[in-house]
Structure 1
Amino acid sequence: MKLNRTQWASVTAVVLALLFAGGAVTFASADRSPRTHTPTTESADAGFARDMSVHHQQAVEMSFIVRDRTTDEDVRRLAYDIANTQANQRGMMLGWLDLWRLPKVQADQAPMAWMGMGDMSAADPAAEDGALMPGMATRTQLDQLRKASGREAEVLYLKLMTEHHKGGIHMAQGCVDKCEPGVERDLAQGMVDGQAAEIKLMADMLKARGA
């Protein structure tokens, strides 16, 4: 069962809007009044940029894996959209850290500590298998995706990416609530909206595959 034109048009519109918004960030930065201060390394702004960059990198990785494990055009198109969008957003966030002269890795700070969350390893056994933050796939799950093919790979990817998006939305909403007003918080809101739309699309795709 293939997705209809309306479904793809809806998600494509969201993706294009996010990419346009991403491009607009560059120009808006020049017009917006300067920050009253540069974010500190412990700030929500810096924490979100660091942690979401890591979260996004795994989504890009999973999307490239499934692209080579199936010939289904719907899944390959979705994977391309996710990889392209999240790679662009990751580049912007790492660019902000450079602009603020802050480290891209903060070894002494637990992931998502800026949201008031504790060390994930103490609460979730998945962390011991490489899942650094909520929603992220474990090393075992990534190995399963690399070994799968066809419908099995499609279903596994859609399930893993659905959970990945749920974790991403939770973190992005944290930035909407805690980051300073401006382009970064606007980008976080775009992530919440865009990934929610993709979760609905993936639910339809899983249903079409009897999963």
Structure 2
Amino acid sequence: MGAVMVGERLVKATPENWMYPPAEGWTFDQVKDLELPAAWELVDGEIVVRGRTVWWHNHVRRRIERCLEDTMTETYCVASEQCVFVDDQNTPVPDIVVFDKQGLDLFETRAIPVTKAVLMIEVVSTGSRQDDRVRKPALYASAGVPYYWRVERGEGNLPEVHEYWLNPERAEYFPRPGRACHAGKLETDFPYPIAIDLAGLVEL
């Protein structure tokens, strides 16, 4: 009886067992229906609770998302705090993702396929510096996402955007040639023409 109960317990992650993954780790199918009081993501088969973010982080994220929506072309869509399916045991939740919506039923999609993602954006918080500067860009690059932005909190609370392009042969990001760090104003043509008044993002 005990063996059967253990087998059943590990079929799906629940609020009671999510912190005890099976030896091979959780899969997306096992965790996709899990509801916890805190936000979380699947990292190498383990459920990782995401830290709370401060007002600056959330405000800047919302403003950037709005700017991207205002300038995007018809084939793209912008989402924040949306699960992205990289593989069966890695479903990160970037602050913002820009993706190709063609062929997707957005009302039924549980996670955006990483093959559809064209730009990932992370807004760095005190508790996410290692993830946003190292782990997540490495994961996104290895999955072939063409562009990555890392948003840092600069002097006077002004956002600074570090723009990275993918080197597909090495599966690594490299700083955008010519102007890798945007302060004051961001202007880029990738993945589509975008201009953002960065100082205006924090105006109340």
Q: What TM-score, normalized by structure 2, do the two folds share?
A: 0.29
Q: Which structure has more strand as a fraction of its residues?
A: 2
Q: Which structure has more helix as a fraction of its residues?
A: 1
Considering only CA atoms, is the larger Rg found in Structure 1 or Structure 2?
2
Comparing both chains, which one has the higher relative contact order based on Cα–Cα distances under 8 Å and sequence gaps of 6 or more? 1
Q: What TM-score, normalized by structure 1, do the two folds share?
A: 0.28
